[in-house]
Structure 1
Amino acid sequence: MKNKKALFIFTLAPVLLILITFLSILYGTKDISMVTVWNAIFHFDEANIDYQIIRTGRIPRAIAVLLVGAFLAVAGSIMQGITRNYLASPSLMGVNDGSAFVITLAIVYFPGLSNVQMILLSMVGSGMGAGLVFGFGSLIRNGLSPVRLAIIGTVIGTFLSSIATAIAMYHQVSQTISAWYNTKVQAVDMDMLLLGLPFGMIGLILALFSARAITITSLGEDVAIGLGQKTKAIKIISMLAVVCLTGTSVALVGKIAFVGLVIPHITRFIVGVDYRFIIPCSALIGAFFLSLCDLISRYINFPYETPIGVVTSIIGVPFFLYLILKRGGEKA
């Protein structure tokens, strides 16, 4: 491999991911010994409460956080590469909000839907949210510039969230809906996790398949066309990957902001501008980052848990402001 920094990440990341996953399973509100964790995995006894906590709570949570971190980081990488917008991310471009909005409607008006149907609707919402933001951006003069598109995304996202909240309050399901907007990593459904995994994997495969084309597209529309790139086809495939990745993430744990903004920038700084390296490295770094944030969230206000979105925002908001101050309105 020519990229030595990427090779270093591929070598180190599995060790770090195994370590952070082990810590996520071991530590929490209740202290559980390593022996108990081992027995819960290999000698499970339904009558043991600690074994139940490990099997039904901490293991699904640790796996879900790893997957969602990887999915959101890759989704953000794709969006930034395709749009050449350094502020593009699922949380800022209405993708997360669209998913949560459609899930809210589903819970209120179609409460008997299956987990697979919820995942599919979450993906539909992702596409709808992105379509609204980029649609409005294309109608406004210079609306597709990084800062203006981020403002449009924030406004539309807030609008969708407000409508969803109003509907939830009217139908008295606010507590149920709040989990989707404040994240629900502490209550990951194992069945939903198993059902969502194939959809997320499809998104990752599409992303890896498109990686070389995204690198060319990131050079600019004219350059890509001049090199024989079918830009429309690549954008469709790439956005389908984003929809799969983001829709699955929201269906699993609700909205989590800034992972898709911060991690792609860190990854590009380390491995360069080739998306054949950016996409897999973003997945690995994103998985570790969100798992670390999840671990930190358990101890900020111990023994009470702080929503993981608070931790990602503490990191993401200053980073967002830094990008605006540093880059202004220029393209990536």
Structure 2
Amino acid sequence: MTALAAPRLSRPGLAAGAALVLLATLSLLVGVIDVSPARLMRDPEAWELIFASRLPRTLAAILAGAGLGVAGLVMQALSRNRFVESTTAGTDQSAAAGVLLMTILFPAAALPVKTLGAAAAALAGTSVFLAIAQRLPPSQPYLVPLFGLIYGSVIGSAALFVAWQTDLVQYFAVWTRGEFSGVLRGRYELLWISAVMVGVAWWAADRLTILSLGRDVSTGLGLDYAAMMRLGLVIVSVISALTVVVVGAVPFVGLVAPNLVTRLIGDDLRHAAPWTAFVGASLTLVCDLIGRVIRFPYEIPVGVVMGVVGALLFLWLLFGRRARG
């Protein structure tokens, strides 16, 4: 097991950092209200708009994208299946059902309390998914995401029925459709916990890599299989719940980003996790920018754009030639 060490900067790393800075700068400047550099030089109100709306939105997109990407990477290690992520495992649907129940039972509860309820529901839903998925034949990898889609649809349909009965359909739609237009200062800060979870995933990357080899191999190598499964479930559930509560479910990020990275640099989570976070954040920023400009001055939710872009990328990954390093 390799020792934990600070990552060294390389040319690809510097290029990736520069690309992310460029996307973040575009995210700060693109919008209905003009905040061009010329206006920033002469208008103090433009800076207030940047700090109150544009910067929180950009940070929320980066944190959500990076967190969902790493959560998908961990989820694929837990299930030993490359076609699994939070939206194809019932995690996001369970988180939305959890925050719905918290809203019904404790309507005056603060957002962090509702987030705890969503995380608990996501943990329970993901645990059930993994327990059933491990019983599916490993020779049929497509059965796992197919079961996950059906499983998540059942949970989502049941939660939607409850929302309809309690006149909360509009709220439920917000939690199941990712959108950054409502992100303001003071309403996104919980997503920084996702960054902490990404750090925890990188800290445990070597053990999660061993975990992906299966119960027998990992136990034979001295790994506490049950403890690492619990840690992985907590990482995935917390990130998914935070994203659902703050911005809503964003599909395909946890599916596409890990597959793009692992096809290029391999399955070692120690090396794959930072790149997966970068690809997830960049993909989310790009889709958010597309949603802002394609029907300017109106917006298309990032979940809708990501659904189209992510589906095309996934089909390319599925049927395209495997990249060779």
Shorter-chain TM-score tier: 0.7 to 0.9
2:158 equivalent in structure 1: 163
Does 2:32 match 1:29?
yes
2:101 equivalent in structure 1: 105
1:330 equivalent in structure 2: none
CA distance in 1, matches of 2:63, 2:172: 22
Asked if structure 1 preserves the Cα contact closer than 8 Å seen for 2:190 and 2:242, the reply is no
Does 2:266 match 1:272?
yes
1:226 equivalent in structure 2: 220
2:58 equivalent in structure 1: 62
Asked if structure 2 preserves the Cα contact closer than 8 Å seen for 1:36 and 1:51, the reply is no
Which of the numbers 117, 120, 123 marks the counterpart of 1:124? 120
Moved over 6 A (4+): none
Q: How many residues align structurally?
A: 315
1:18 equivalent in structure 2: 21
Which of the numbers 191, 196, 212 marks the counterpart of 1:202? 196
Does 2:303 match 1:309?
yes
Which of the numbers 138, 146, 149 marks the counterpart of 1:151? 146
The structure-2 alpha-carbon separation of the partners of 1:8 and 1:260, relative to structure 1 and needing over 3 Å to count, comes to farther
1:73 equivalent in structure 2: 69
Asked if structure 2 preserves the Cα contact closer than 8 Å seen for 1:24 and 1:62, the reply is yes
SS in 2 for 1:191: coil
The letter of the residue matching 1:173 is L
1:236 offset after TM fit, Å? 1.5
Asked if structure 2 preserves the Cα contact closer than 8 Å seen for 1:147 and 1:324, the reply is no
The structure-2 alpha-carbon separation of the partners of 1:142 and 1:20, relative to structure 1 and needing over 3 Å to count, comes to same
TM value normalised by structure 1: 0.86
More moved, 187-196 vs 122-131: 187-196
Unaligned runs of 5+ in 1: 328-332
Asked if structure 1 preserves the Cα contact closer than 8 Å seen for 2:126 and 2:233, the reply is no
1:77 offset after TM fit, Å? 0.7
1:188 equivalent in structure 2: 183
CA distance in 2, matches of 1:154, 1:5: 39
SS in 1 for 2:250: coil
SS in 2 for 1:179: helix
2:3 equivalent in structure 1: none
CA distance in 2, matches of 1:187, 1:62: 12
The structure-2 alpha-carbon separation of the partners of 1:227 and 1:131, relative to structure 1 and needing over 3 Å to count, comes to closer
Q: Percent identity, aligned pairs only?
A: 29
| 1:233-253 deviation line (CA, Å, top 9, x unaligned) | 222212211122222221221
CA distance in 2, matches of 1:73, 1:81: 13
The letter of the residue matching 2:210 is I
CA distance in 2, matches of 1:311, 1:192: 23
More moved, 26-35 vs 286-295: 26-35
SS in 1 for 2:201: helix
2:111 equivalent in structure 1: 115
1:169 offset after TM fit, Å? 2.2
Which of the numbers 248, 254, 260 marks the counterpart of 2:248? 254
The structure-2 alpha-carbon separation of the partners of 1:123 and 1:190, relative to structure 1 and needing over 3 Å to count, comes to farther
More moved, 152-161 vs 6-15: 6-15
Asked if structure 2 preserves the Cα contact closer than 8 Å seen for 1:6 and 1:281, the reply is no
Asked if structure 2 preserves the Cα contact closer than 8 Å seen for 1:298 and 1:305, the reply is yes
CA distance in 2, matches of 1:7, 1:270: 16
RMSD of Structure 2 on Structure 1 (CA): 2.6
Does 2:92 match 1:96?
yes
1:57 offset after TM fit, Å? 2.1
Unaligned runs of 5+ in 2: 1-6
Asked if structure 2 preserves the Cα contact closer than 8 Å seen for 1:123 and 1:243, the reply is yes
CA distance in 2, matches of 1:100, 1:38: 43
Asked if structure 1 preserves the Cα contact closer than 8 Å seen for 2:176 and 2:244, the reply is no
1:144 offset after TM fit, Å? 9.5
TM value normalised by structure 2: 0.87
Asked if structure 2 preserves the Cα contact closer than 8 Å seen for 1:137 and 1:143, the reply is no
Q: Trace 1:275-286 onto structure 2 (pairs within 5 A).
A: 275-286=269-280
CA distance in 2, matches of 1:138, 1:265: 21
